[in-house]
A and B are shown apart, each in its own frame.
Chain A
């Protein structure tokens, strides 16, 4: 599987993401935000966590207008896979590739801790390594993870089984405790918790490995 990790000024989980993907067996290239094109024959684009462009205007808003994001939109429109974690999820909602928006946490505090995360569906390349209902331990580290959308979109996400993960207990005010959502074709996942920070026992747990291995399994067959 060929993967690219996008690097914005202010990204800070880009190298963790590359390490997690490489550990699962992916061929990973780092791509700078000013590049206008992605590497050829790419299977997956990963948009990492961090504080792209200092979170100016809104989290992810400036990054979503960068040259590389036009290429990311093209990649997804051609049926390519994309994973956005934390700030990457915010960028994906700002580009319109995923519905909804991420607002300031309801408690106004930055939340940095390991949380219980319930797998809401195993029907995607990202979650097929889990069973629906599994509870995982993933770190979260965000100030703006309060997922919101209009009632019609929420009903559609739930009806189409596109909620990928929910928080085991209320965390940040997210609608229906949503922690991650899938695109209509199930090839784009955005999530606030950090799977790439849960792939090494030295960091407290390895519940994230199955996400990267599952992705590798699915995309290498394809």
Chain B
């Protein structure tokens, strides 16, 4: 089985990289980009039957730093 973990900075945490990307899109002439947030996608190849709770533990312990990041698990 596969799972995909999306890690994003929490709402309210300033994302300087997202802001720089937004600025660059503006200078390419794309008007109306009102916000950009940049995150990570991590794909996991897992033994069948791995529970979502176990994946959650992986996120809490390593994949995300929950002081500043939130995560979303997508089992594929």
Which residues of A approach B to under 8 Å, CB–CB?
57-58, 61, 65, 93-94, 99-101, 103-108, 146, 148-150, 173
Question: Chain B binding site: helix, strand, loop or mixed by DSSP?
Answer: helix
Whether the Cβ atoms of A106 and B13 lie closer than 8 Å is no
Can you report 30 residue pairs joining A to B where beta carbons are below 8 Å apart? Answer: A57-B62, A61-B62, A61-B65, A65-B61, A65-B62, A93-B67, A94-B65, A99-B67, A100-B67, A101-B65, A101-B67, A101-B68, A103-B13, A103-B16, A103-B68, A104-B16, A104-B17, A106-B14, A106-B16, A107-B16, A108-B16, A108-B17, A108-B20, A146-B16, A148-B13, A148-B67, A148-B68, A149-B67, A150-B67, A173-B14
Q: Sorted from nearest, which 5 A-B pairs have the closest CB atoms?
A: A101-B67, A101-B68, A106-B16, A108-B16, A101-B65
**Contact of B73 with A by CB under 8 A:** no
- Give the one of A65, A104, A105, A108 with max B CB within 10 A: A104
Question: Chain A binding site: helix, strand, loop or mixed by DSSP?
Answer: loop
A149→B13 CA distance, assembly (Å):
9
**Contact of B63 with A by CB under 8 A:** yes
- Give the one of B16, B17, B61 with max A CB within 10 A: B16
Q: In the complex, what residues of B have CB within 8 A of residue A149's CB?
A: 67
Whether the Cβ atoms of B16 and A173 lie closer than 8 Å is yes
Q: In the complex, what residues of B have CB within 8 A of residue A150's CB?
A: 67
Give B1-29 as 1s and 0s: 1 = Cβ < 8 Å from A's Cβ atoms: 00000000000011011001000000000
Q: Write the chain B residue with the least CB distance to A146.
A: B16
Other A-B contacts than A65-B61, A103-B13, A108-B17, 12 sampled, CB-CB below 8 A, are A57-B63, A61-B62, A61-B65, A101-B68, A104-B17, A106-B14, A106-B16, A108-B16, A108-B20, A146-B16, A148-B68, A150-B67
A29→B41 CA distance, assembly (Å):
40
